[in-house]
Structure 1
Amino acid sequence: MATGDIHTSKQGDKWVNRVEGNERASNTAPTKAEAQAKGKDMAIQRGTEHVVHKQDGTIGERNTYPRSRDPRSSKG
């Protein structure tokens, strides 16, 4: 199983989830919300970061799973 971060982005007329480092999409969805939900599930299963892109390709948000890996949640 690939261990790279999951990227949800617009590709043509659909939204796709792609594991970082892979050429092909892991799955597709007609809406951003559906793709984002699938991407989140993939990231949780793999314990990686989920990077959600805006329609223009820029990064809209990042979520790290499990949360303990998120550097912003550490004390100090």
Structure 2
Amino acid sequence: MATRKTYHVTHVNGHWQGKLEGAERASVTSDHKDEAVAKTVEIAKKNLPSSVRIHKLDGTIEDERTFMDDPYPPKG
């Protein structure tokens, strides 16, 4: 089983970026959060299994989207 890749969408220096955890450079940059999230999700879906952690302006995690092999699937 492949190791899950985790991407983070964060606000840095006045713009939003999508970046693979541990990477030096951002994969995605945008002035708009929605655009950065959409592009980062697109990249994550191409690199399964993966997840995208979407952060608020203050750095706390707002949402997490997991693609393939969700360790905490919802009940029901």
TM-score (norm. length: structure 2): 0.84
* Runs of at least 5 residues in structure 1 that lack an aligned partner in the other structure: none
RMSD across aligned C-alpha pairs, in angstroms? 1.6
Equivalent pairs, count = 71
Q: CA deviation at 1:27?
A: 1.7
TM-score (norm. length: structure 1): 0.84
- Mapped to 2, the partners of 1:42 and 1:53 lie a distance apart of 17
| CA deviation string 1:2-24 (max 9, x = no partner) | x7311111011100010011011
- Mapped to 2, the partners of 1:62 and 1:74 lie a distance apart of 13
Contact 1:52/1:62 (8 A) holds in 2: yes
Per residue, is there more helix in 1 or in 2?
A: 1
Identity %, equivalent residues: 35
Moved over 6 A (4+): none
Match of 1:71 in 2: 71
Q: CA deviation at 1:73?
A: 2.0
Per residue, is there more strand in 1 or in 2?
A: 2
**Secondary structure at the counterpart of residue 72 of structure 2:** helix
